[in-house]
A = this chain, B = another copy of it.
Amino acid sequence: MNLGVMESFEAGLSLISLGVSDLTRSREFYTNGLGFTEAPESNQHIAFYRMQSVCLALYPASELAADIGINAEGSGFRRFTLSHNVSSEHEVEVLLRLAVAAGAQLVKPANETNWGGYAGYFSDPDGFFWEVATGSFLDPVR
């Protein structure tokens, strides 16, 4: 195991993607409604907002639903992904291999992307999608 890579992975949650039904409506809500400032990397296809810090929690789905007060049932695509940006294509490959070795499924092997980067996806044991990416649109978090 490469502890240097592990440490950068740990510190490296860099993006939360919400898969929305109507980007115009969502942008109205977040940008105009809540007053979030769109990052300059935003365009007509995607809206980015930078956050200062975040914490990831794992919690039983049934408890999470109960806390909200909703039914816990659900199926299919959950409309979100977590992304981890790294510094090189090599690091993308290493982290995808690390995830698979840890029990993840390789959903999409690393490849060149339509935004000029290099990325792949794995899914965690619950089917949560993680993208591991490198490219210039967002700097890696260190």
Interface residues of A (CB under 8 A from B): 1, 3, 6-7, 9-23, 25-30, 32-37, 39, 45-65, 67-83, 98-99, 101-104, 107-108, 121, 124-126, 128-129, 131, 138, 141-142
Complex: A83 Cα to B125 Cα, angstroms: 22
Q: A51-B53, A51-B55, A78-B79 are in contact. List 16 more A-B contacts (CB 8 A).
A: A11-B51, A16-B54, A17-B57, A17-B59, A17-B64, A19-B59, A19-B60, A29-B124, A30-B58, A50-B53, A52-B141, A54-B141, A68-B107, A74-B79, A78-B78, A80-B80
Note all chain B residues with C-beta closer than 8 A to A3.
Answer: 35
Which one of B1, B71, B103 lies within 8 Å of A29 (CB-CB)? B103
Once bound together, how far apart are the Cα atoms of A70 and B62, in whole Å?
A: 25
Is there an interface contact between B20 and A126, defined as CB atoms closer than 8 Å? yes
User: Given A26-B58, A54-B51, A58-B23, A80 and B77 touching (CB < 8 A)?
Assistant: no
A-B contact pairs, 29 of them (CB 8 A): A6-B35, A13-B51, A15-B56, A15-B57, A16-B16, A17-B57, A19-B126, A20-B61, A21-B60, A21-B126, A27-B58, A32-B102, A34-B99, A45-B60, A47-B59, A50-B53, A53-B53, A64-B81, A68-B108, A68-B129, A69-B121, A72-B77, A73-B76, A73-B77, A74-B74, A74-B75, A75-B76, A78-B78, A78-B79
